[in-house]
């Protein structure tokens, strides 16, 4: 009977794993900026979801409103995130360095797989790889927020697109934004829109090429 019980246990674990696929959740909060908080949920295939809360720091009508949308990132990029989040022993509470660094916002990274969960919360992590992926994921969030801003500008202030697209091109070169593929749809709209400035269309094309390369 023991082999039967062992088989049933394995099948039970497999069913739990199938019902609870692996996810990485990143929660960010900083009341001094807008959005003041956001949550990014990722799955191993690159799919995910992003939500944000503008918070009290929002002062103008052109600030990005709350975001709640599905996203698709480069699968190779997401797999790197999963490798770090699933293999680090610091994911058991806090991985805060307690170094004297400027406040950058609280980040909580949570890894879940088959009903098990581990997480760490930090401003600046003592673990170099955790800190590195947090910076990359902050860049992803910035990309998504910028994409929402582009949509607003296209509708309400097309002339403002020139400055915003200039920022995106520069920020994609120095790493402040990551995973341009997350905003491919609005970039395609801008590239094809003959009513916006030619420079905006050209910058959209530059960014779309980067998106194809996994940036």
Angstrom distance (rounded) from CA 61 to CA 156: 11
Instruction: Give domain status of residue 14, yes or no.
Output: no
Q: What is the pLDDT of residues 159-187, one digit of tens each?
A: 999 999 999 999 999 999 999 999 999 99
Average pLDDT on 133-162 reads 97
Cβ neighbourhood burial of 11 (10 Å; 0-12, 13-18, 19+):
exposed
Other Cβ atoms within 10 Å of 146 Cβ, number: 23
- Cα four-point dihedral sign 155, 161, 165, 167: negative
- Cα four-point dihedral sign 94, 97, 99, 104: negative
**pLDDT tier for residue 59 given thresholds of 50, 70 and 90:** low
Instruction: Give domain status of residue 6, yes or no.
Output: no
Instruction: Give domain status of residue 184, yes or no.
Output: yes
Among 153, 207, 155, which residue's Cα sits nearest to residue 182? 207
Instruction: Give domain status of residue 93, yes or no.
Output: yes
Q: What is the pLDDT of residues 7-55, one digit of tens each?
A: 333 333 344 344 568 999 999 999 999 899 999 999 999 999 999 998 7
| Contact partners, residue 115, CB within 8 Å, separation at least 6 | 16, 17, 20
Instruction: Give domain status of residue 118, yes or no.
Output: yes
Instruction: Give domain status of residue 5, yes or no.
Output: no
Query: How is residue 151 annotated by DSSP?
Result: H
Query: How is residue 35 annotated by DSSP?
Result: S
Instruction: Give domain status of residue 180, yes or no.
Output: yes
| Contact partners, residue 25, CB within 8 Å, separation at least 6 | 39, 40, 41, 42, 108, 109, 110, 112
Number of domains in the chain: 1
Angstrom distance (rounded) from CA 81 to CA 76: 9
Instruction: Give domain status of residue 117, yes or no.
Output: yes
Give the range of the structural domain holding residue 166, as residue numbers without chain letter.
19-212
């Amino acid at each position: 009977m023991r082999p039967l019980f062992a088989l049933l246990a394995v099948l039970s674990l497999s069913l739990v794993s199938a019902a609870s696929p692996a996810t990485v959740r990143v929660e960010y909060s900083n009341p001094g900026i807008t959005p003041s908080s956001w949550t990014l949920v990722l799955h191993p295939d690159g799919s995910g979801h992003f939500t944000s809360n503008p918070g009290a720091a929002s002062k103008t009508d052109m600030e990005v409103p709350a975001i709640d949308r599905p996203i698709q990132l480069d699968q190779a990029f997401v797999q790197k995130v999963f490798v770090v989040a699933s293999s680090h022993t610091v994911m058991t509470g806090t991985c805060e360095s307690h170094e004297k660094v400027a406040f950058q916002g609280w980040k909580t990274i949570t890894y879940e797989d088959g009903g098990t969960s581990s997480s760490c919360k930090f401003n600046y992590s003592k673990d170099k790889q955790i800190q590195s992926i947090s910076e990359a994921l902050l860049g992803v969030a910035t990309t998504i927020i910028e994409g929402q801003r582009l949509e607003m500008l296209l509708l309400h202030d097309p002339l403002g697109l020139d400055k915003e697209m200039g920022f995106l091109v520069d920020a994609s070169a120095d790493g402040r934004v990551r995973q341009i593929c997350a905003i491919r749809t609005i970039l395609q709209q801008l590239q094809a829109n003959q009513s916006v400035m030619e420079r905006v269309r050209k910058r959209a094309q530059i960014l779309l090429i980067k998106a194809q390369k996994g940036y």
